[in-house]
């Protein structure tokens, strides 16, 4: 029985932003000099956050290491970050995820084997997409499991469909007829015992992959978190133009509202140079649009409607811009939104951010907006 949907409010930034600022020190005397890609959920008593970070001796050192971190909060205001990362970039120089491990999404499944109760999907890369003219990373999606949500282990090479430890979905998995492609930014939901994931996807053809054919959000499902059945990609109902498969958005965040039998999806979809008004140039976005669905496959989305969150230069924590990778959590009928901003306030010494012409003093921040939450 699906409960009727009641009146809904608007997302409001909460007093107290930013809630986290890059530059925090850990017991190894190193810092997290960058933060990105929050993934948050409510477990009934606290919010649990996973996010990407760059760990280094200082903002100017060259020993930076990509890590995935975990933090918790009972009130959305104060976040306690675990000292040890839950996953670190592979140390194997031949690994497919040896240069980056980021954009985590984690789901808890009480019915899974004890050592696999928590499934993490993440984005990994081993350098730049290997064709002339490309500067994007050669991304794929990996899987790791945990018994407690704190220590994760990549799946073995023998379990991987591609025979590579951790790896579960690639661009060729999604677009087998293409020359190549990439996938990234997964977001998980568990519905009736089945894992579902939505993610950014890109494909191209030609000897050097010179012709882009597809770009948008894709979907796959799985019963074990390792072997995935991919739906036709990209999802047509999330395109700006249904006849152009290159007009899809990216970095989806999805919630399945079981009480109302409804999926909600937020994504980034900036057009042309509209986000050039932001001073910082680093995976920046103007905000997120919202889509709805009853089956997770066909979505209702109107790009002519206002975004659920739109960048504002006057708001705390985002004076210089917003970074892609906004995520949502469900708490009864309310929604918590976490997003990374670029700010020029309380900037740690030597912390800089890239602009279109160079760099300027700035810092990455974690910010909160809510809808229908006290």
349 contact partners, CB below 8 Å, separation of at least 6:
59
Please indicate, yes or no, if residue 283 is contained in any of the structural domains: no
Q: For every one of its 374 residues, what pLDDT tens digit does the chain have, with 9 covering 90 and above? A: 899 999 999 999 999 999 999 999 999 999 999 999 999 999 999 999 999 999 999 999 999 999 999 999 999 999 999 999 999 999 999 999 999 999 999 999 999 999 999 999 999 999 999 999 999 999 999 999 999 999 999 999 999 999 999 999 999 999 999 999 999 999 999 999 999 999 999 999 999 999 999 999 999 999 999 999 999 999 999 999 999 999 999 999 999 999 999 999 999 999 999 999 999 999 999 999 999 999 999 999 999 999 999 999 999 999 999 999 999 999 999 999 999 999 999 999 999 999 999 999 999 999 999 999 99
> Is 307 inside any structural domain?
no
Residues 6+ apart with CB under 8 A from 36: 51, 52, 53, 102, 103, 283, 323, 325, 340, 364
Distance, in Å, from the CA atom of 240 to the CA atom of 269, rounded to the nearest integer, reads 9
Are 267 and 251 within 8 A, CB to CB?
Answer: yes
Residue 91 domain-assigned (yes or no): yes
Residue 1 is predicted with a pLDDT of: 83
CATH number at residue 71: 2.115.10
**Is residue 278 included in any domain, yes or no?**
no
Give per-residue pLDDT as tens, 113-145: 999 999 999 999 999 999 999 999 999 999 999
Is there a domain that residue 311 lies in?
no
Rg of the chain in Å (alpha carbons):
19
In a domain, 257, yes or no: no
- pTM confidence score: 0.98
Distance CA 252, CA 234 (A): 12
User: What is the residue range of 25's domain?
Assistant: 20-251+338-371
* Three-class secondary structure of residue 104 per DSSP: strand
Are the C-beta atoms of residues 350 and 59 closer than 8 Å to each other?
yes
Nearest to 173 by CA among 128, 226, 249: 226
Distance CA 190, CA 192 (A): 7
pLDDT of 95 reads: 98
Number of domains in the chain: 1
| Cα distance between residue 335 and residue 198, in whole Å | 19
318, part of any domain? no
| Contact predicate 217/187, CB 8 Å | no
Specify burial of residue 176 (Cβ count, 10 A radius: 0-12, 13-18, 19+). Answer: exposed
Is 126 part of any domain? yes
């Amino acid at each position: 029985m699906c409960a009727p949907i009641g009146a809904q409010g608007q997302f409001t930034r909460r007093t107290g932003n930013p809630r986290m600022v890059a530059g925090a020190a850990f017991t190894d005397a190193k810092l997290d000099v960058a933060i990105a890609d929050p993934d948050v959920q409510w477990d009934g008593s606290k919010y649990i956050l996973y996010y990407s970070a760059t760990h280094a001796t200082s903002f100017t050192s060259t020993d930076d290491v990509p890590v995935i971190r975990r933090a918790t909060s009972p009130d959305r205001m104060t976040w306690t970050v675990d000292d040890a990362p839950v996953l670190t970039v592979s140390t194997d120089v031949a690994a497919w995820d040896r240069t980056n491990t980021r954009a985590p999404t984690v789901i808890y499944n009480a019915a899974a084997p004890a050592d696999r109760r928590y499934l993490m999907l993440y984005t990994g890369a081993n350098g730049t997409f290997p064709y002339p003219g490309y500067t994007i990373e050669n991304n794929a999606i990996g899987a790791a499991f945990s018994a407690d949500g704190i220590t994760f282990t990549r799946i073995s090479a023998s379990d991987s469909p591609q025979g590579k430890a951790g790896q579960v979905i690639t661009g060729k998995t999604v677009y087998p007829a293409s020359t190549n492609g990439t996938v990234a930014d997964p977001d998980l939901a568990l519905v009736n015992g089945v894992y579902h994931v939505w993610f950014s996807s890109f494909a191209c053809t030609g000897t050097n992959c010179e012709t882009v054919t597809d770009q948008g959000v894709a979907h796959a499902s799985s019963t074990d978190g390792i072997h995935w059945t991919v739906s036709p990609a990209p999802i047509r109902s999330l395109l700006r133009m249904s006849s152009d498969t290159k007009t899809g958005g990216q970095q989806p965040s999805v919630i399945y509202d079981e009480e109302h039998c409804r999926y909600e999806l937020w994504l980034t979809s900036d057009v042309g140079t509209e986000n050039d008004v932001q001073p910082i140039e680093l995976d920046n976005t103007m905000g997120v649009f919202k889509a709805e669905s009853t089956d997770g496959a066909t979505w209702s989305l109107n790009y002519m409607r206002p975004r659920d969150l739109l960048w504002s230069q006057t708001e705390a924590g985002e004076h210089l811009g917003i970074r892609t990778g906004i995520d949502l959590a469900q708490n009864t009928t309310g929604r918590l939104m976490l997003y990374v901003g670029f700010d020029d306030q309380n900037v740690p010494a030597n912390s800089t951010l890239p602009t279109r012409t160079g760099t300027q003093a700035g810092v990455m921040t974690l910010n909160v907006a809510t809808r229908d939450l006290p």
